[in-house]
Structure formats: C-alpha cells, structure tokens
Amino acid sequence: MKQLLAIFFASIVLAAAQDARHIWPPHPPWPPRPPMPPRPWIVVPPQPQEPGKPMELREMEVRARIVGLHVETIATMTFFNPNHRVLEGDLQFPLPDGAVVTGYALDINGQMVDGVVVKKEKARVAFETEVRRGIDPGIVEHVAGNVYRTRIYPLPANGSRKIRLRYVAELPANQNGDAACFLPMPIGETVARLAIRVEVSQGLVKPEIGGFGNLRFQSFDNLWVAATELRDAKPGDDIWVALPKLPPQVVALERASDGEVYFAINDLYAATARTTEPPRKLGIAWDASGSRYGEHRQKEIATLKKLGAEFVVLVFRDQPEEIRPLADPDSLKDIAYDGGTDLAAAAEVIRKSNVKNWLLFTDGLDTLSDKLPDFGDKNVTAVVNQTVAHRELLRQVCAHLVDLQRLDADAAATAIVRPSVRLTRIHGTGISDVQGIGATADGRVSIHGKLTADNAELTLEYSDGHRSPPVKLHKKNATDGTLLASVWAAKRVNQLAVRADANEDELLALGRRFGIVSPATSLIVLENLDQYLRHDIEPPASLPDLRRQWNERKATMAKEEKQKQAGKLDRIVALWKERVAWWEHGYNVPPDFKYKAGPGAHDPHPLVEGAGGMTGGAARRMFAFGGNAAPVEQR
C-alpha cells in the first residue's frame, strides 16, 4: 500500500477551514466558510529499503492578487529530501469549487521552466517516453472533479526540487454578500523561509486580513498590499483576507493583452418571499461507494430528519440495489461503504421509478461509467457534503444542488423544500460570450463575458421575475490585466469539462490560449531542445532563446523534409521516364526469327517463331522474358 506523506503548505488551495475556530471580531459571522479542500498529499511508492524520513517543505512563497471578487494565486514551493536515496512521488491537490490551474513550472538545472499546454494524451505519451529514457519531465494533469496531480521526481538524495503553481478562483461569499478567501498555512510545520504577499485592487472596500503572520494592509499605487517574509516560521493558524460590507453590485473590467475587454458582474440577489409545499414523498438515492465513507454522513442524516417526509431509498455503488422504504434515516449509518460508483446505472433506476422527487446524496465522482446520468423527467436535487467532488457535473445533470459544506441542516432542509431561483436572462447589448446564465442565486450571482461596445447597460433577470438595478459598463474604465480573462476561460472550461469528449476541440483551444489544465489538456515541462523537437512541442514563451532555436530547427527540418520529398519525386519521375522510353522503343525482328535462351537459362519455350517485322507491343511482350534471352539467326 502506498505511503501518504502529509505536506502542509499555503496557496495550493484558496478556501476556508471546515471548523469554526477562526472567529473574526467584531463580526461573529465572519469570515464566510466555504469548503476547505483536504491538505495536499504526496504519494510515494513503497521502497524496499527501511522507511526513511518524510520530505520537508523548506521554502514557500505565496502571492495572491485580488481583482473584484476574483483571486489569482501563485505558489512556489521547495521540497527537501533528507534521505540518502532518491524519492519519487505524485503530488495530488484539490482546488476550490470552480478553480482551475493556469500555470506550472519546474526547476531545470537551477532555472524555473514554465509548462506548455498540450493535448492530455500527447502530454502523457511524452512524459512516459522521457521517463523510460531516464530523463524526468514535469506534468500537471486533471484527475477528476476538483483534483489535480503533478509528478515530483526525482527528489534527489539530500537534495531539493522546486515547483510553481498558478491558479485562479472566485471568492466565496456568504448570504449577506460579503466575500473572503483563506490561505491555508502548514500548521505545525517549520518552514525555513516563508514569504507571503497579498494584493487587493482599491476601489471597493478596505480589505481586512488576519490569522497567522500579523499582516496589515497598506495603500500602495492603487493597491492594498500586505506582505511579510519569515525565517524558520512555524504557523499556528491560517491566513484570511476578507472584503466586508460590499455594495450589492461589484463590477470589474480588464483589458487583456490582445485588446479584448473582459467584464465581471457580481449581483447580490434580493430574495423574494416564496411559499412552496414540501413533497410528501421523497426518494433518497444514497451513494454508498468507498469515497463516501466519513463523518459527513451525520449532517446528511440530520438534514433528512428536518424534512419530515415519507422516504424510499435507493442505495447504489457499482450496482444499484432495489428501492425500499426508509423508516429511519439513522439506518444509513450502518450500511457498507465500499466499491466504485456507477451514477448512470443509478439514474436509470430513478428514471424508471414511480417517485417524482429525489434527493441524490453523492460526490458526483463516477468511477465506473463514462455516460452522463439521465434522470428523465424526475426532479432530482443533488446534495453534496464532501470537499473532493464533481459539483459542476451535478449542477448540469440535476435540477438543483444543495451544498452542505456551506449550509447547516436547517438551511439545507429549507433549500431542498424551496429551491433557489436562477439567473435566467440578461437584458442589454454590447456584450458577448457570457458565462453564468442559469446560475443559482445563493447570495451573490456572478456573470463573466466580453465587452464589445464602448458602453453597455445591463439588467439581470431571475426566474422569480426579480430584476437587478441597471449595471453600466464603460471600456474606458478597464485596467490592463489578465485575471478576468482567465476567470472567464475557467468558467467556460468548467462548463465544457462535463462533456469533455464532445467538447475536446474547444477545450484544447481554450487550454492553449489561456494556459488552462482541463480533462482535455495538461501542462508539461521538458528539459532540453531535443525533447521538445522529439515530441513536436513548442517551448514556452518564457524561454525565448530555446523557442527561437526550436523554430529554426523546425524550419530546417521542414526544408530538409521538403528537399527529401522533392528528391524522391525526382527519382520517381526519372524512373517513369526511363520506363516510358523503354515502352515506346521499337524493335525490328527478322521474319524467320526464333527465340533461343541464353547459356544456363531455363527456357520453358525454347523456340518462338517470328512473324515478320515486329514493333511496339508484340516485341515488348517477347523481350519481357528477361535479359538472358537473345535473338539468333536461323542458318
């Protein structure tokens, strides 16, 4: 069994802790608590030698930049191997819901080399090929849901390796519309050098920061900046950054390097009073696969008890069981949790059942089927209470999604009985490629798109008829930057990733343009020019000399190939002309000519009578026997 070495470090995730130990006076409800992905882990294959010391995180540098309600995080980490043997391993890390990896770099001969986005299969072939050659590249892949993986090898004996990871995410907000993000620290671990820098664009509210490090924001060049660098730091707490008392609408505009202007609008939905009759009978589809084992079941069962409905239950793993009555939700604690998940098979049972309303308790990670679940006309609400989950898939295949990591049991029961309204339409012109229509209005609703006109005025309409106040956008107010473009691309990638095979071309195009890792793309780092040439992968723009050499070699190779093809064609033409000349050549044969095979030749037809002078085809057929035949005179 593989050994798990816990490595705690900041900036792999931007999310809040699951517990409530962080209280921010004088605002007791603060900060809002989005789900906390589990700490990253390094999986190290078993070694025949005796167990050694765990790998150490020697240096960590975190840079977080917040624009509007979006954040870009760049984390640089140096790992040290204190053992006398080389170690290898996979670094697996979950990201917050909706976040995507947009950059990766690995130290090659003391220099950080950026990864290049290529098709996932091509990256894997290149990676495995180079590993077999004894030269290890670096790679970042999408695993499933919100989980990613990067290879860390080799970790040299008594040596170190450095990686850099960049990702973008949207700040989570509470029901009041206030936003915050968390930078998890390696609590209890000693880090020789820990550097942290947080930048927040000015214009909304003054941000607040707390937790580890005693950081404070200072105004600097239209930014709020908090920074520190510590030696032999041993964090006892995480770091939080909060944007309290935000206005109901938050607008951000950025002009990308290609001149396109991207916008983001965050609207605080004003809830209207709604009365909904709770269903008298509910179907419970209960995922009992191995990944669903854990303490989270207690909150799920508590939510069921709040509903007060008649239940039937469908327990499913790799295969669905029969639907049966569920008198006591507590009995769900005693079932066996093991095996894989076949959501498509469970959906088929739900679709054929006579129960209209269903609650689907699952993490959305289908390990056994490549088909999307189809629930037909059934009203299915997904209930999620795990950090590692495929929330986007559940949003697309279910009517509603209730996230128990953001709600307590009472609020979750209310959300089940009275599902959230949705953003249904945007009124206005001068925009394109809008992402976010159809989103549920749980607190803030965000939309992202491109501003094509110099000015635009938009109004957001919800499924209950509510309309937002007008939002005005002006191109002249856009600042230079790439964060909003990356967030827009991330939204689009997450939407397409659920049907990755069908959307492979667009995923690949978005990945190459914005540097995004997705189910169709990976980021790969190679070591030298020969590797890039061997796998036909263009070096990153951050290595201009290597890219220039690659372009020159590719041009030379293309020229040589063209010359080779031209030479081959010339040879074929020459041979053809020779054959045509031979074919068109005429031969004069005496009328009394008789064919006689040459010395030593086997001639099945020793005599061929001449029939007068022959030219053209007849003579050619005669001489086609071979070079040993020769005409002789009859004496």
| 142-157 residue pLDDT tens | 988 888 988 877 788 8
- What pLDDT, on a 0 to 100 scale, did the predictor assign at position 78? 92
Rounded mean pLDDT, 279-289 = 92
Q: Report the distance separating Cα 616 and Cα 467, nearest Å.
A: 91
* Average of per-residue pLDDT across 310-335: 94
Residue 392 pLDDT exceeds 50: yes
Three-class secondary structure of residue 49 per DSSP: coil
**pLDDT score recorded for residue 276:** 67
- pTM equals 0.78
What gap in Å lies between CA 461 and CA 155, rounded to an integer?
Answer: 54
7 half-sphere exposure, CB direction, 13 A CA radius? 30
The answer on pLDDT for 169 being more than 80 is yes
Residue pLDDT, tens place only, 532-559: 999 999 999 999 999 999 999 999 998 8
Measure the CA–CA gap between 40 and 175, rounded to whole angstroms. Answer: 29
Q: What distances in angstroms separate CA 88 from CA 77, 79, 160, 212, one per listed residue?
A: 16, 12, 12, 31
Asked whether residue 224 carries a pLDDT value surpassing 80, the answer given is yes
- The percent of residues in the chain predicted with pLDDT above 90, rounded, is 53
pLDDT on residue 620: 42
R_g of the chain computed on alpha carbons: 34
Coil, helix or strand at residue 195: strand
pLDDT in tens, 500-511: 989 999 999 999
Of 477 and 22, more confident: 477
- Rounded to whole angstroms, the Cα distance separating 5 from 146 reads 21
Residue 213: the pLDDT is 85
Per-residue pLDDT at 6 exceeds 50: no
Measured CA distances, 198 to 86, 272, 371 (Å): 35, 37, 42
Specify whether the CB–CB gap between 441 and 435 falls below 8 A: no
Which pairing describes strands 471-474 and 455-462: parallel, antiparallel, or unpaired? antiparallel
Give me the pLDDT at residue 251, please: 94
For the record, the structure tokens of 578 come out as 């020779």
Listed in sequence order, the residues at least 6 apart from 423 whose beta carbon sits closer than 8 Å to its beta carbon are 436, 437, 438, 439, 441, 445, 447, 460, 461, 462, 463
Q: For position 50, what pLDDT does the model report? A: 53
Among 24-38, 403-417, 514-528, the range with the most confident prediction by mean pLDDT is: 514-528
Given this model, what pLDDT does residue 3 score?
Answer: 34
The stretch 360-372 carries a mean pLDDT of 90
The pLDDT of residue 165 is 93
pLDDT value of residue 275: 60
pLDDT at 247: 93
Please compute the mean of the pLDDT values over residues 248-255 and round it to a whole number: 94
The fraction of the chain above a pLDDT of 70, given in percent, is 85
Q: Is the pLDDT of residue 215 over 70?
A: yes
Cα gap 535→538, rounded to integer Å: 9
Banded model confidence at residue 405, pLDDT cuts 50, 70, 90: confident
In this prediction, residue 296 carries a pLDDT of 73
Contact by Cβ (8 Å): 35, 182: no
Whole-number Å distance between alpha carbons of 112 and 105: 6
pLDDT at 23: 28
| 570: phi then psi, degrees, rounded to nearest 5 | -60, -40
**According to the model, what pLDDT value does residue 425 have?**
94
φ and ψ at residue 360, rounded to 5 degrees: -105, 105
Q: Does 51 have pLDDT greater than 60?
A: yes
| Distance in angstroms (rounded) separating the CA atoms of residues 445 and 442 | 7
What's the rounded mean pLDDT across residues 210-238?
Answer: 92
**Cβ neighbours of residue 13 closer than 8 Å, sequence gap 6 or more:** 36, 37, 40, 93, 94, 95, 96, 184
Measure the CA dihedral 483/485/488/490, to 10°: -70
pLDDT at 358 over 80: yes
For residue range 25-35, list pLDDT tens digits in order.
Answer: 333 344 444 44
Average pLDDT, integer, range 581-600 = 77
| DSSP tag of 552 | H
The pLDDT assigned to 274 comes to 60
Calculate the alpha carbon distances from 552 to 541, 557, 565 in Å: 15, 9, 20
Q: Span 169-174, mean pLDDT?
A: 88
DSSP string, 511-525: HHHHT--BTTEEEEE
In residues, how long is the chain?
Answer: 635
User: Tens digits of per-residue pLDDT, 460-481?
Assistant: 999 988 999 999 999 999 999 9
Q: What integer pLDDT is reported at residue 540 of this predicted model? A: 94
Q: Is the pLDDT of residue 321 over 50?
A: yes
What's the pLDDT band for 170 if we cut at 50, 70, 90? very high
- Given a cut of 90, is residue 101 above it in pLDDT? yes
Q: Is the pLDDT of residue 518 over 60?
A: yes
Mean of per-residue pLDDT scores for the chain: 83
Is it the case that residue 395 has pLDDT exceeding 60? yes
State the distance between the two ends of the chain, measured CA to CA, in whole angstroms: 95
Task: Using the CB atoms, write b or e for 226-239: b if 16+ within 10 Å.
Answer: bbbeeeebebeebb
